Structure 1
Amino acid sequence: MTRKKVKLAFIANDSARKATYKKRKRGLLKKMDELTTLCDVKACAILYSPYETRPVVWPAPSGAKDVIASFKRLPEMEKVKKMVSQEEFLRQRVAKAHEQLKKQQKDNREKDMTHVMYQCLAGQD
């Protein structure tokens, strides 16, 4: 059975929203575990929820503290090297899409010219 695309919108039904939260949380924590195991990276997750009195901390509070502490120990230049604001992220995406558009237009022009040349060689106008 194939999965259908999920429309991202607020789930109005409380019980359905809670069930979806539990499933998604379990999936997210499983992916975090796979990421740390397969790629040998340090990662942590902190989930705040209205359904639980305390936040869920993965892998454990001490592990999360270690990851956060190692991030805080990094020099300022290393911390912000790959960080981008929402505006900068969107600007990069627009620039990338613009480059892809230019490349596609160039490819289309070349294909059109090739098609016209073949028509000329075949004696068509």
Structure 2
Amino acid sequence: MGRKRSLTLNWATQRARRANIKTRLSKLIKKTNELTILCDGRACLMVNDREDDQLVVWPSTQEAQPLVENLYSFTEHERDPKAADPESSIETIS
């Protein structure tokens, strides 16, 4: 005989999942803040919350927008020099 299947409540798991995401997001924001202080650099954090359909941006949208624009001003190879894309390697060689 097989084991009896355990009963899981969908609303309980959703509530626990939502609480877990909320605590992880706050810890991630704290780590990003510590990183900017310790390394004396600039950073932004953008997380898409699918359940509430909103974008969580740290520190603020006005401060993050220039950083994102600066990132996209670089070429794809400059953004990720460790990428193993053969086409970009050929472009940088020639």
Where structure 2 has 5 or more consecutive residues not aligned to the other structure, the ranges are: 1-11, 86-94
Runs of 4 or more consecutive aligned structure 1 residues displaced over 6 Å after TM superposition:
none
If each structure's strand is expressed as a fraction of its own residues, which one has the higher value?
Answer: 2
TM-score (norm 1): 0.51
Looking at CA atoms only, which structure, 1 or 2, has the larger radius of gyration?
A: 1
AA aligned opposite 1:79: R
Please, what TM-score do these two structures have when normalized by structure 2? Answer: 0.66
**Aligned partners of 2:49 and 2:73: how far apart in 1?**
29
- Structure 1 residue 49 corresponds to structure 2 residue 68: no
How far apart are residue 56 of structure 1 and its match? 0.4
- Aligned alpha-carbon RMSD (Å): 2.1
Specify which structure has the higher proportion of helix. 1
- What CA distance in whole angstroms lies between the structure 1 residues aligned with 2:83 and 2:63? 23
Residue deviations 1:97-119 (CA, integer Å, cap 9, x gap) = xxxxxxxxxxxxxxxxxxxxxxx
C-alpha deviation, 1:17, in angstroms: 0.4
Identity across the alignment (%) = 34
